[in-house]
Structure 1
Amino acid sequence: MGAYGLVRINMELLPHAHSIFSPSSIQIIYAASTSLGQRNLKKRIAYSSVSHMGFIIIGIGSISDTGLNGAILQIISHGFIGAALFFLAGTGYDRLRLLYLDQMGGMAIPMPKIFTDFSILSMASLALPGMSAFVAELMIFFGILTS
């Protein structure tokens, strides 16, 4: 909601929008590297979410049609992907009673459907080609280049 409010309300208030590229880039790198160091699955998803918000802020800061459309698509895409990942992490915790990744080895055997769904959504969160997050991040990068 906050990122959409920034697009909808504060566009006229961003005369120096290009100055938010550096903090957002630092946010992406810091949150992604912190996410890699997490053992807790839900914390890893949360830090990944913070990293995706950096892409959204960069798209808003580009103040180009392509960048803004990419940011809005990223908001929608991340909303669905993030909610589904948290749902599946909670479902996995309810079934296995394990919270740390190093203890979850072999979770595909007791719950193969949840494992498959989680794998597909993880690839979507990574913005692999063919997924909605890939299209959104590509649009954001094109928006940066055209601004």
Structure 2
Amino acid sequence: MQDNPETTVRPSKGEEEYSDLVEIWRSAVRATHDFLQEEDFGRIEENLASMYFPAVALIVAERDGAPVGFAGVAEGNLEMLFVTDDVRGGGVGTLLLREAISGLGVTKVDVNEQNEGAYGFYLNRGFVLVGRDELDGDGRPYPTLHLELSQ
């Protein structure tokens, strides 16, 4: 196995790989979203394949033929970007973000305020804070930071 395997980004294969994407989501969220209540975790996971994935353009990062991360975009908003925990910090997220910006026109992203790692990630890649909401989009007590790509 290579020390630094090549990562490629491609469009999602759709429903046939949703279960792999849910596993990536689970790994990433367990590692980075310790603030998320268990019932919210379960509700989100339950809706990923049926509601959330079909609502976005999905791209997938792959190493050695296996998905290791994904991003979802809708109307210029980065709605989701998750990388499996065992490759986190290895450039996969940056590669997905770069493709989402150049290929899918991303200019905005919302981040949970409690997810300081993600907030720093986006700030370090050219996004700036433009607003904050006390509740998330579903009215839950997860303050949301609104970021836009700096010109």
Normalising by the smaller structure, the TM-score range is under 0.3
Structure with higher RCO (Cα < 8 A, 6+ apart): 1
- Structure with the higher fraction of residues in helix conformation: 1
Q: TM-score, normalised by structure 1?
A: 0.28
Choose 1 or 2 for highest CA Rg: 1
1 or 2, which has the higher strand percentage? 2
Give me the TM-score of the superposition, normalised by structure 2: 0.27
